[in-house]
Amino acid sequence: MDLLIRNASLPNGRTGVDIAIAGGRINAVGVALAVVAEQEIDAGGNLVTPPFVDAHFHMDATLSYGLPRVNSSGTLLEGIALWGELKPKLTQEALVARAMQYCDWAVARGLLAIRSHVDICDDRLLAVEALLHVKRRVAPYLDLQLVAFPQDGLLRSPNAFANLKRAIAMGVDVVGGIPHFERTMAEGAESIKLLCELAAEKGLRVDMHCDESDDPMSRHIETLAFHTRRLGLHGLVAGSHLTSMHSMDNYYVSKLLPLIYEAGVAAIANPLINITLQGRHDTYPKRRGMTRVPELLAAGIEVAFGHDCVMDPWYSLGSGDMLEVAHMGLHVAQMTGQEAMHACFMAVTETPARILGLGGYGLTPGCNADLVVLDAGCTVEAIRLRAGRRYVIRRGKVISQSPAAQATLSLPGRPAALDFRLHAA
């Protein structure tokens, strides 16, 4: 064997588990495995999980905070306007450099798969070319899936549909959209029809920014579910944000949720950004804005959390930590029961892996040996502590590691070594 991890705790609650790895894949999982390996890691009862997955991100804008200026209102629309000002000044070199830096951060955080939307409304398609280049460079250690995203509206922006088709031909993986940003509700609905038909023709997945608004009458998710069923795209479509659902009346939502479930459409909430951008027009009470995560889960709908933005025109913070995303999602959705908190961990690991269609993801024999050893004993503790990543492993090779998080106290009558874990071995 190439690598053996001893005494691991798993996300499903199993403890004292060994994981044997050979040829870049998991070979065996069990208790006290009688194998010898070239390298051995004692997990010490810590949680071993498949890597974090970010189902919704904008890598073309990441680390551009302050360019050309800071978003003074903090609103979604000013962020879009700022991005529009920045686009003509973008260079491939700067786009690649910022994206590569972010990918380094991601690896150190155990984030080894990212779905990034890339704006195709610039006729030069500079960002598309840059991120396709980055995708190839990071492929040995990070899966980067790209979405052709018409930021300025598929029908509202003159060349957007032609540019989107060009981006797909260049190798972009997923069809994106933004129906609520079209000029009218009718044009928003038409854009969904056109984009879903293109995806069905090309055999591609769909991920649309959908109803990122506080307007309860923004109901494009209903149209997305309809065309998903009409075209047989079950399991291939995601609606991102869905924040208008936060403001919809309960009767309409009681009709909507079964439609989403029947169509097999997944939901992607973005807790850090939704709680920051939504409700900006409210005085008090002020809406939280994030979509109805507990209700979506109860309806059997797949729900993932995305980071969305890091240091860009929409959000001034972030570091690629999906545990921070899960932590915020837990609070905003008031998911404080044990099962609910565990679901928040799944929303940044296994669930987005399914939404992205990642092959070989998991902890069973035959899966890719892509793993993260966390400085925590269980999924809930990992979220509570935003646990450190002791080891990040890609195809059986350690590609990042960090020491355990401990402090040394000098307090009379108290232990010198302080460990924040309650599940420490």
Mean pLDDT of the residues in the chain: 97
Contacts of 365 (CB under 8 A, 6+ apart): 25, 26, 27, 28, 29
CA–CA distance, 110 with 211 (Å, rounded to integer) = 30
What's the pLDDT at 406?
A: 83
Query: How would you class 397 by CB atoms within 10 Å of its CB: exposed for 0-12, middle for 13-18, buried for 19 or more?
Result: middle
pLDDT tens-digit map of 252-272: 999 999 999 999 999 999 999
Q: Are 272 and 307 in contact (CB under 8 A)?
A: yes
- Place domain 52-356 in its CATH homologous superfamily: Metal-dependent hydrolases (3.20.20.140)
What's the pLDDT at 423?
A: 60
- Report the percentage of the chain scoring pLDDT > 70: 99
For 12, the token pair is: 């499903």
SS3 172: coil
Q: Indicate the domain borders of the chain.
A: 3-50+362-408, 52-356
Q: Can 212 be counted among the known catalytic residues?
A: yes
CA–CA distance, 299 with 246 (Å, rounded to integer) = 16
For 152, the token pair is: 């300025």
Cis peptide bond prior to 285, omega within 30° of 0: yes
What's the pLDDT at 111?
A: 98
pLDDT tens-digit map of 309-336: 999 999 999 999 999 999 999 999 999 9
pLDDT tens-digit map of 270-281: 999 999 999 999
**Residue appearing with tokens 């545990």:** 323
Q: Which CATH number fits domain 3-50+362-408: 3.40.920.10, 2.30.40.10, 2.40.50.140, 2.60.40.1170?
A: 2.30.40.10
What's the pLDDT at 178?
A: 98
pLDDT tens-digit map of 100-135: 999 999 999 999 999 999 999 999 999 999 999 999
Banded model confidence at residue 424, pLDDT cuts 50, 70, 90:
very low
Q: Is the entire prediction scored with pTM above 0.95? A: yes
What's the pLDDT at 138?
A: 98
What's the pLDDT at 421?
A: 85
Q: Which of 85, 182, 197, 212 is catalytic?
A: 212
pLDDT tens-digit map of 61-104: 999 999 999 999 999 999 999 999 999 999 999 999 999 999 99
Q: Strands 303-305, 417-419: parallel, antiparallel or unpaired by DSSP?
A: unpaired
- Which is nearest to 329 in space by CA: 269, 399, 271? 271
Query: How would you class 347 by CB atoms within 10 Å of its CB: exposed for 0-12, middle for 13-18, buried for 19 or more?
Result: buried
* Phi, psi of 142, rounded to the nearest 5 degrees: -155, 130
- Which is nearest to 206 in space by CA: 145, 158, 125, 120? 145
- Which is nearest to 272 in space by CA: 326, 312, 336, 313? 326
